Each structure stands twice: as structure tokens, then as C-alpha cells.
Amino acid sequence: MMTYQDTTTPAGGDGPILRCEGITKAFGGVNAVNGATFDVPRNKITALIGPNGAGKTTVVNLLSGAMKIDSGKVQLGTTDITNMERYKIARLGLMRTFQLSRELGGLTVLENLLVAPKVQAGESLFNIFFRPRLLKREERQNLERAVEILRTYGLFDLRDNLARELSGGQKKLLEISRGVMASPSLFLLDEPMAGVNPALIDKIGGYILDMKAQGVTVLMIEHNLNVVERICDNVVVLAEGRTLATGTMSELRENKEVVTAYLGEIINAGPSH
């Protein structure tokens, strides 16, 4: 049975796994994120929706430390992670994927997964030369887990291919499975289903539900409201960098403002990219 969760979960505590309070980010004159405030409840799948350019990707960049936050506060579990160095945020259990997949092209599919565990004994020069058995054991465990994940994600047969040789859909799968390999407690997915065929959309939906079953909290950006309806427990609507509404999908459908102003627009615009 596959376990996604590390035995130690740094993003501990009770309340919401992530609290995001009034974060802002401006690019020159553009206020890309302008006071977004929302919670991500633990062990749920939360959707982050909103029109193109609403600031969704920027929010993910701010939460994961890829960009500096201008003002506001982000808390992961009980830890304040506002403007913490990104690798430290990752080590606390927050993983993310990129809207345009970013594979490690010169590594094989298998290596893309093997590199993911956050802290490895085999990354220390001392251990490489003086503790070869520890390395071997660790590498074996990682290999077993990576193989299991690759099987689940249907990438097993591609394991020895260089990641840059994969198709777009395969790269999406690789990126998600790489994040899973890193045992996240909170996984931010930036449009995991954009640009993939309908059959794969269902599959990816299944994987995300699977992660939840294994105790991973998911925050996913998604334009396809059918998908949101089916797999997400909660929805955060972002517009012009602000949180417009939060709630379940059916609650939002009853919110006239949201429907007329934004949901309609999203439905009309259809899935992006």
C-alpha cells in the first residue's frame, strides 16, 4: 500500500494547514495579488479559481517562497513562513507544481523521483565516502518507493527515458508524481489538468483523490468547474488579486455576485490554455 505521508509532519497543529492573511504582490504598477485572504483546511481538496490574470499563479509563487511577498502573512501549520527561503518552506512539507511543467530534463524519469526526497544522507560528501552502507540502504528504500509511484502514475515503462523526451501530458504526470515522492503535507497544484486529454483528466482527478485519502492536503488551481465540482471540497474564488468568496461549490452557485461576475465568465471562457 502506498503511503504518501512522511512519518514526521512538520506542518503540524490542528486548525487549517495554511492561513493566508492579506498577502499582496505588485509587479511595477500591476497589483497582481492585492490582499488575498483565505484558509486551506487540513486534509481537504481546495480549489483556487478565478479568471485569467486573477493572480492565482502568483499566489502559489508567494506561498511557496518563489517570490517575495510585499505585505501580509502566511502561516503553514503553526509556522510563520512569510518570505522564508523557498527550500526551507519545501522542507516543512509544502510542495508545488508549475503551470508550465518544469521537468529536470537531463535526468531520467526515475531520477526525477529519486532526487525528490527532501533530505538524503547520500547528499553529504562525508556519507558518500565513509558511510556507503547507509547510502545503499537509503537509496534502496527510495528506489522501491519511486518504482511504486511510477507504476501508479503509469510512468514505469518510461523510467529510463530522459525527462525532456516526455510528452506534455507525461510531463504533467511526472511533475505530480515527483511532488508525491517528496511526501508533502500540503501540495499546491497549478492547473494539473490543463492541456491534457479527457481520459487523463479523470485519471489525474483520481490521483488527487488518492492523495487526500493518504492524508495530503491539496490546493489546486483549476479552470474546469466540472472537475472542481467533482473532486474539491472547498473553493476559493480569486479576482483581481482579492479573495471574492470562499465556500463549497454549491454555496458559491447560490452567490449571485460570484455567478454573474465570475463563475459565468469562467464557464464561458472554458478551460484555459
Ligand X SMILES: Nc1ncnc2c1ncn2[C@@H]1O[C@H](COP(=O)(O)OP(=O)(O)OP(=O)(O)O)[C@@H](O)[C@H]1O
Which residues of the shown chain bind ligand X in the complex (CB under 6 A)? Answer: 27, 30, 32, 50, 52-58, 99, 272
From the CB of 229, what's the least distance to other proteins, in Å? 29
The one-letter amino acid at 1: M
- The full length of the chain comes to 273
Of 30 and 143, which CB lies nearer to ligand X in the complex structure?
A: 30
Stretch that binds other proteins, among 70-78, 143-151, 231-239, 262-270 (CB under 8 A): 143-151
Residue that the C-alpha cell 540502504 belongs to: 137
What's the DSSP call for residue 89? H
Of 77 and 192, which CB lies nearer to ligand X in the complex structure?
A: 192
Q: Interface with Mg ion includes 57 (CB under 5 A)? A: yes
The sign one gets for the Cα dihedral 263, 268, 271, 273 is: negative
Stretch that binds other proteins, among 43-51, 74-82, 118-126, 257-265 (CB under 8 A): 118-126
Residue from 123, 202, 251, 257 that binds other proteins (CB under 8 A)? 123
**Rounded-to-integer distance, Cα 156 and Cα 153, Å:** 8
Size of the site for other proteins (CB under 8 A): 48
Question: Strand order in 79-80's β-sheet?
Answer: 30-40, 18-27, 71-76, 79-80
Residue that the C-alpha cell 517528496 belongs to: 182
From the CB of 81, what's the least distance to other proteins, in Å? 13
Residue that the C-alpha cell 510531463 belongs to: 171
Closest CA to 259 of 241, 244, 240, 242: 244
The residues that touch other proteins, with contacts defined as CB under 8 A, are 64, 66, 85-88, 90-91, 95-96, 98, 102-108, 110-111, 114-116, 118-125, 128-129, 135-136, 138-140, 143-144, 147, 151, 156, 159-160, 162, 178, 182
